[in-house]
Amino acid sequence: MKVVFSYVKSYKWPVFFALFLMLVELFVELIQPLIMAKIIDEGIQAQDHQLIVQWGTVLLLLSFVAFLSGVANSYFSSHTAQSFAFDLRNALFEKIQSFTLATFQKFPAASLITRLTNDVSQVQTVLFMSLRIMLRAPLAVMGSIIMAFFVNAKLALFLVIGAPIVVIFLVSMVVKGVAYFSKVQHRVDRLNRVLQENLQAIRLVKAYLRGTYEASRFEKVAGQLKIDTVKALRTMEYIMPVLLFIMNMSLLAVLWFGTKQIAEGTTPLGDVVAIVNYAMRITGSFSMFAFIIIFYARANASAERMAEVLAVDNEVEMISSSVGATDKVKYGEVLFENVSFKYPGTDTPVLQNISFHVKAGEKLAIMGATGAGKSTLLQLIPRFYDITAGRILIEGQDVKEWDTQRLREVIGYVPQQSLLFTGSIADNVRWGDVEAEMDAVLQATIQAQIHASVEDFPRGYDTRVGQKGVNLSGGQKQRLSIARALLRKAHILMMDDSTSALDVDTEQALWKDLESEKATMLVVTQKIRTAKEADQILLIDAGKVVAYGTHDELVKSSALYKRIAISQQEVEQ
Amino acid sequence: MAFFQKPFGYEPILSKDDLKQAVQKKKGPRASNWKSTLGRIWRIVDEQRGLLVIVLLMVMASSALALIGPYLIGKMIDTFVMNGNLEGLGKMITMLVGIYAVLAVTLFLQNYWMIGIAQQTIYRLRTSVFSHLQKLPVSFFDRRQHGELMSRVTNDIEAVSSTLNSSFIQVFSSVLTLGGTLIIMLSLSPLLTLLTMTIIPTMFLAMRWITRRTGPLFKEQQAAMGALNGMIEETISGQRIVKAFSQEERVIAEFREKSLRLKRTGFWAQTYSGFIPKVMNFLNNMSFTIVAGIGGLLALYGHVSIGVIVIFTEYARQFTRPLNDLANQFNTVLSAIAGAERVFVLLDEQPEVEMVAANHHKLRGKVDFNHVYFKYEQGEEAYTLKDVHFSVEPGQTVALVGPTGAGKTTILQLIARFYDVEKGEVLFDGVNVQQIDREALRSQMAFVLQDPFLFEATVRENIRYGRLNASDIEIEEAAKRANAHDFIMKLKDGYDTVLAADGREISQGQKQLLSIARAFIADPKILLLDEATSSIDTVTELEIQEALDTLMQGRTSFVIAHRLNTVRNADIVLVMQKGELVEVGLQQDLIEAGGIYAKMLSSSSRFME
């Protein structure tokens, strides 16, 4: 709660004004019964016509002041609450952008979505209410009690007799509430996850007719969410009746003893009436009070969830500020020295003792069976993960000493699964370089063999790409994601089996056009004919290097390589 | 005044014209739209009529008790307190203790049951939206961001939920209390009652002024929330790319923009709805003043007793409080409507069209395309498929070849009837696909998609997705045939390994193996393989090729593959180019004819050498 609410600090003045205006309102409300008592005691009982009119006018004016304060308060409160939510959302999102890929294991996308929207809303609502009523209800209760003491301490004592029980009761309810509501939010995460999976897999669901099965999966998580929400809300529902009952009992006590005192002549009638009035006001504030406690518990649960995100310590992204080498000789050079790696939180090594050296401008082909560790190897270069042993030198400098941002700027990465984003085709290519001129974009798309296809679309480069590129064919997506990487003018170009959906002619043309690239290339491929063109071939199996050399060398020296070549009828059996 | 035009620099969102339109619309179709939204929510709530009646009874009881309490206290002040009379006071107090105890119990119970009703309603709403989504055509999903749709099921329904929890009881008890208070007030002093009532027209006008603004603002707010959700979902799902291209700043800037839109609408919606209690409070105070001031004067001339005034101020408060609540609830209901409307829009989406007399045709496996034309978007000029015409006999294997974007995947999607053709016909055993029950059709097909998708579930469950009643032995059998068994056994918990959301434990090629295993288990009549082995190394591919060949035996199979050697066993070859079928025929015939296909084959082998 603390971490999250520190974001209110920037809005000291609006908060101050909002609270001040609220106090003005409250003040009016509190002195009303006082004036009322005056009208009864001094006006009506003393038959003073003048006084009644006078105080009546004062009441009227005060109401007006209260009204204006209230309206102005609305502006200040919602400004504070909305700005707070805005800052918090941005802070969360920025934090998430600095997450390492390993951290995303801990916080799945679905959960982050809930935290950024639903949880922020919960806290935002509470802040808004605090600035308007949340403080007001407790203050009104306190104020009423103080005023009651001011009027007649002996009688007022009965109003606070139940207070200790009330405090203990409320604290225990809040503790329970926080626990219950954080469970509810967790259920929302699960719901979001099932939804997200279902949407991502919608074709699969349809192809295998799993609509009903999916619906039952969803019903399960929605049902759990329902059960936990009901449990949480029902527990909170004890608050209001219990508070109300205690208060009403105090009221009756006041009446009983008040009457006694009047009979004894120790208390004037006006006092009793005023205290009864205050007591009823307190009762009136109680339903609000209960409401606030529920909201507070809920917001507290949400705030903790956000604090979790904000507290993440990003090991990898802790960047040293040294700048990348500009040594011409080492331009784009990649060196692996006995690199071993396992994914964080797992025991099985994915890569063991990998060593290779790609000189500036050279091309390395990486081959190996499905699951051998090829994609993982590439992901270590932009430092998506930290290695467990060995060293990776890029342009002569250890990746751990690179400024991560700068490191990634010299790398053009074409992932295995071509992932595009909602937006136009030009926008998507410009991910490579936001400021690129259209000429540069065209150059990249021509080189990636996608220009002609884009031109064929009725809206050309303005064609909207659906989420993840649903409206494009597999090959078109791959070529766009190649264009995106080319636009980067990177020193190192990494292609992760990213031509698998291209037909032979297109692929051939692509490789031909890429020959002029001066970048160092690391190409994961299944195809011998692609590997043949490379300066070196790295063959890995089960995370270890089994062969390293040129095509001709490998055909002779490696049985596995030969087997692959035979499978593609590239060499004679 | 400038402050009120643009407070804290917030640009106004609603223009004068918008407001005028809102007024006009209110009289027209929008009013009925409103009512229908509420009506639809009500129909779900009403499914639990029994509980609802109990809640209503409890509300009546508690409202009555809440009225009787102060009434008796007023009486008590007049008869006992004023005169310092203690006789009979004890009895009265005991009675009140009883009344307040019952009040507390009825209050608790009404909320207890109402929470159940509300959450059941929300549950029903959520699950019906979800089931409805399952029936929508694929094209619906092509046009929407996942996160935006997710927001409707979570954030929008959440708005309905918080309203249902409180509003129903509030509204009902407010109306009751209002009626009851009015009766008592009238019986106490018709004149003072009339004075108190003067605030109602003012209240009405003020409410109209406010809700005319909050209504559209709430809607805009939910939409802004949806857009933000969409952006978050997409960015986080594609985080790897964001990082690889170090585009963090770009997405942060985009996020800020969407976040700002939400902030702006949120500010106005919250400010305006914040006016309501203030206005009501003001009117409340006015009535208090009226009663106190004028009542005092009346008492002065002996028209009313002091006790009446004391009680009357309390009743005037009791009278304005439910009005106040009603006003607040009205606003909450508006926000719920804004959420609900976005949900009902989904429910109103047309599901995949089904012919009335669709039959459960048992496929033999003959597939014909009869001069098929197709495009994805209605408005598009160019066809994705143009005049595609071919015929496949049962059990034949068909290879689809051609450059990317030629329409190969589209043909498979039409066979599975993810989309309907624009012109021409797709026929199964001579029956138009539109006359075959969609479910019956798909249940006889298996599809291995271009992008394999795995669920966050165990390996076993992922394979079982192909046929839900498959036994564990069958699953292992299928995995073995798909060459997936070995790597599965190397996973932490073998077949019981839970795959992570981003599936990083296994490679893309392994994902393809699992989705092939899924097809094995499905035992279909028609098999659709779209680049099913593209990420698999060629050695493994060779090993499963044999299994695939067995799988294809006796089934009509359509295969897309770029490595032409993987389609060499096909009976028929369809060569596609820019949406047109440029060559079709038996594999052997095409090679001998020396056309495009023959050239492709030779170019790929030339390239190989």
Domain stops at, among B325, B347, B369: B347
Is B195 among the domain residues? yes
Which residues of A503-563 form beta strands (DSSP E)?
520-524, 536-541, 544-549
pLDDT at A26 over 60: yes
Domain stops at, among A243, A278, A310: A310
Is B476 among the domain residues? no
Q: Are residues A335 and A306 in the same domain?
A: no
How close does chain A come to B477, measured CA to CA in Å? 20
Is B450 among the domain residues? no
Give the three-state DSSP class for B529.
strand
Is A509 among the domain residues? no
Distant-in-sequence, close-in-space partners of B38: CB < 8 Å, separation ≥ 6: B333, B337
Is the ipTM higher than 0.90? The answer is: no
Q: Are residues A259 and A392 in the same domain?
A: no
pLDDT mean over A535-542: 92
Top residue of B11, B65, B115, B130 to mutate, by most chain A CBs within 10 Å, is B130
B120 alpha-carbon distance from chain centroid? 16
Domain stops at, among B315, B331, B347: B347
B317 contacts on A by Cβ (under 8 Å)? 280, 284
Q: Looking at residue B64, which CATH number applies to its domain?
A: 1.20.1560.10
Domain stops at, among A277, A310, A343: A310
Cβ contacts below 8 Å, chain A against chain B, sum to 527
Q: Are residues A63 and A94 in the same domain?
A: yes
Is A443 among the domain residues? no
Q: Are residues B254 and B399 in the same domain?
A: no
Q: Is B107 on the interface with A (CB under 8 A)?
A: yes
- The letter for the amino acid at A105 is Q
Nearest by CB to B562, which of A67, A265, A504? A504
pLDDT in the model for residue A465: 84
How crowded is the C-beta side of A338, counted as CA atoms within 13 Å?
A: 2
- Count how many domains chain B has: 2
Q: Are residues A291 and A186 in the same domain?
A: yes
Contact B287, B320 (CB under 8 A): yes
Q: Are residues B361 and B306 in the same domain?
A: no
Q: Is B484 on the interface with A (CB under 8 A)?
A: no
Q: Looking at residue A91, which CATH number applies to its domain?
A: 1.20.1560.10
Q: What would the two tokens of residue A250 be? A: 């105090």
What's A473-502 look like in SS3?
CHHHHHHHHHHHHHCCCCCEEEEECCCCCC
Q: Are residues B191 and B152 in the same domain?
A: yes
Contact A464, A470 (CB under 8 A): no
Contact B557, B393 (CB under 8 A): no
**How many other C-beta atoms can be found within 10 angstroms of the C-beta atom of residue A91?**
15
Nearest by CB to A215, which of B130, B153, B239? B130
How does residue A51 score in pLDDT terms, banded at 50, 70 and 90?
Answer: confident
Start-to-end C-alpha separation, chain A: 70
B537·A368 Cβ contact <8 A: yes
Please spell the DSSP secondary structure of B42-81, one letter per residue.
Answer: HHHHGGGHHHHHHHHHHHHHHHHHHHHHHHHHHHHIIIII
Q: Are residues A35 and A137 in the same domain?
A: yes
Q: Are residues B340 and B390 in the same domain?
A: no
In chain A, helix, strand, coil percent, each to 5? Answer: 65, 10, 25
Is A420 among the domain residues? no
Between the alpha carbon of residue A244 and those of residues A118, A134, A165, A290, B55, the distances in Å are 31, 18, 13, 10, 19
Q: Is B42 on the interface with A (CB under 8 A)?
A: no
pLDDT in the model for residue A80: 93
Q: Are residues B372 and B246 in the same domain?
A: no
pLDDT in the model for residue B503: 63
Q: Are residues A22 and A73 in the same domain?
A: yes
Q: Are residues B422 and B276 in the same domain?
A: no
pTM (predicted TM-score): 0.84
Is B529 among the domain residues? no
Is B377 among the domain residues? yes
A113 contacts on B by Cβ (under 8 Å)? 147, 150, 229, 232-233, 236
Query: pLDDT higher for A3 or A82?
Result: A82
Top residue of B3, B71, B81, B131 to mutate, by most chain A CBs within 10 Å, is B81
Q: Looking at residue A346, which CATH number applies to its domain?
A: 3.40.50.300
How crowded is the C-beta side of A514, counted as CA atoms within 13 Å?
A: 31
Is B25 among the domain residues? no
How close does chain A come to B582, measured CA to CA in Å? 16
Q: Are residues A56 and A97 in the same domain?
A: yes
Q: How far apart are CA B474 and CA B45, in angstroms?
A: 45
**How many other C-beta atoms can be found within 10 angstroms of the C-beta atom of residue A288?**
18
- The letter for the amino acid at A378 is L
Domain stops at, among A279, A310, A341: A310
Kind and range of the H or E run holding A65: helix A49-97
pLDDT in the model for residue B105: 94
Q: Are residues B50 and B84 in the same domain?
A: yes
Q: Looking at residue B575, which CATH number applies to its domain?
A: 3.40.50.300
Residue B426's φ and ψ, nearest 5 degrees, are: -110, 125
How close does chain B come to A108, measured CA to CA in Å? 7
**B523-555 core/surface letters (b: 16 or more CB in 10 A; e: else):** bbbbbbbbbbbbbbbbbbbbebbebbeebbeeb
Contact A369, A541 (CB under 8 A): yes
Strand arrangement, sheet containing B397-401: B431-432, B423-428, B367-374, B385-392, B580-586, B572-577, B397-401, B556-560, B526-530, B445-448
Is B126 among the domain residues? yes
pLDDT at A301 over 80: yes
Counting every residue, how long is chain B? 609
Q: Are residues B225 and B324 in the same domain?
A: yes
Q: Are residues B322 and B389 in the same domain?
A: no
At which residue do the structure tokens 């609270």 appear? A19
pLDDT in the model for residue B32: 52
Is A479 among the domain residues? no
Q: Are residues B414 and B325 in the same domain?
A: no
pLDDT mean over A426-447: 90
Q: How far apart are CA A68 and CA A24, in angstroms?
A: 10
Nearest by CB to B259, which of A71, A89, A248? A89
Q: Are residues A95 and A56 in the same domain?
A: yes
What is the residue range of A533's domain?
330-410+494-502+524-573
**CA-based diameter of chain A, in Å?**
122
% of chain A with per-residue pLDDT over 70: 96
In chain B, which residue's Cα lies nearest the Cα of A242? B104
How close does chain A come to B385, measured CA to CA in Å? 13
List beta partners, residue A538.
Answer: A366, A548
How does residue A302 score in pLDDT terms, banded at 50, 70 and 90?
Answer: very high
Q: Are residues A10 and A146 in the same domain?
A: yes
Is A498 among the domain residues? yes
| Model confidence pLDDT, tens digit, residues A145-187 | 888 888 888 888 888 887 788 889 988 998 999 999 999 999 9
Strand arrangement, sheet containing A520-524: A411-414, A492-496, A520-524, A363-368, A536-541, A544-549
Domain stops at, among B326, B347, B368: B347
In order along chain B (609 residues), what is the average pLDDT of each group of 10 residues? 71 73 54 76 90 92 85 80 76 89 92 92 93 87 87 89 83 85 83 80 87 89 91 86 81 91 92 87 76 74 74 72 80 87 89 68 88 82 87 92 86 89 90 85 85 86 88 92 89 87 76 89 89 83 80 88 74 90 87 83 57
Q: Are residues A125 and A236 in the same domain?
A: yes
Q: Are residues B426 and B280 in the same domain?
A: no
Is B485 among the domain residues? no
Output DSSP code: residue A320. -
B158·A118 Cβ contact <8 A: yes
What is the residue range of B606's domain?
353-444+562-609
Q: Are residues A305 and A334 in the same domain?
A: no
At which residue do the structure tokens 């439910």 appear? B322
Q: How far apart are CA B75 and CA B548, in angstroms?
A: 91
Instruction: Classify the C-alpha dihedral A137-A142-A148-A150 as positive or negative.
Output: negative
Q: What would the two tokens of residue B255 be? A: 């996020």
Contact B504, A343 (CB under 8 A): yes
pLDDT in the model for residue B235: 87
Q: Are residues B262 and B360 in the same domain?
A: no
How close does chain A come to B29, measured CA to CA in Å? 32
Nearest to A409 by CA among B243, B204, B527: B243
Start-to-end C-alpha separation, chain B: 81
Is A438 among the domain residues? no
pLDDT in the model for residue B282: 83
In chain A, which residue's Cα lies nearest the Cα of B306? A40
Is A102 among the domain residues? yes
Kind and range of the H or E run holding B33: helix B29-45
List beta partners, residue B574.
Answer: B400, B584
How close does chain A come to B22, measured CA to CA in Å? 23
Nearest to A32 by CA among A289, A280, A286: A280
B229·A113 Cβ contact <8 A: yes
Q: What would the two tokens of residue B274 be? A: 């914040």
Q: Are residues A354 and A278 in the same domain?
A: no
- Count how many domains chain A has: 2
pLDDT at A6 over 70: yes
Between the alpha carbon of residue B326 and those of residues B64, B158, B333, the distances in Å are 18, 21, 10
